Amino acid sequence: MRHLIFIALLVPGLAGAEIYRWTDAQGRVHFGEKPGGNGAEQVQVKPQVVERDEATRQREQRTQQYFDARRDERAAADARAAEVHAERSKECGELRNSLAQIQRGGRYFTTDAAGERQYIDEADVEAARSRLSSRIAERCG
């Protein structure tokens, strides 16, 4: 594919170039962009058109489909990775906020079925702080 692009870029430059042909004193034929001797004549250079057969066109089409599929797979993988990263960032933010709230101190409670407050003792708060710290270290680096 790169060769085709290179040739496509090169052909217009060759089409506009003037090519000269001449024969030196020893009888050798030379070609150049500038006339190199007496009797130099300008030569018309026609670019060769290469026709591709059906098998070549099908092979190029399959190759292009393969590369398109790989590009789509990479894009999907990148999107999944970005989604996982966003979820992980959100989770880490919530964990850090919970830990900061516990570290600010205060009294914590839960409400039982009767609507009564059940205060959490310091040992349970310390256990929650420890769980949050280890979870942050595990999930957030």
**pLDDT tens digits, 32-74:** 888 877 778 888 888 887 888 899 999 999 999 999 999 999 9
Cβ-contact 98, 130 below 8 angstroms: no
For residue 17, is it within any domain? yes
Q: Which tokens is 50 given?
A: 């290469």
pTM: 0.48
| Alpha-carbon span 89 to 108, nearest angstrom | 26
The Cα–Cα gap between 109 and 117 comes to 6
CB 47 within 8 A of CB 11: yes
Residue 59 lies in a domain: no
Decide if 108 is inside a domain: no
Exposed, middle or buried, 135 (CB in 10 Å: 0-12/13-18/19+)? Answer: middle
Q: Print the domain residue range for 35.
A: 1-50
**Residue 50: which H helix or E strand, with range?**
none
H or E element that contains 106? none
Q: Based on the structure, what is the number of domains in the chain?
A: 1
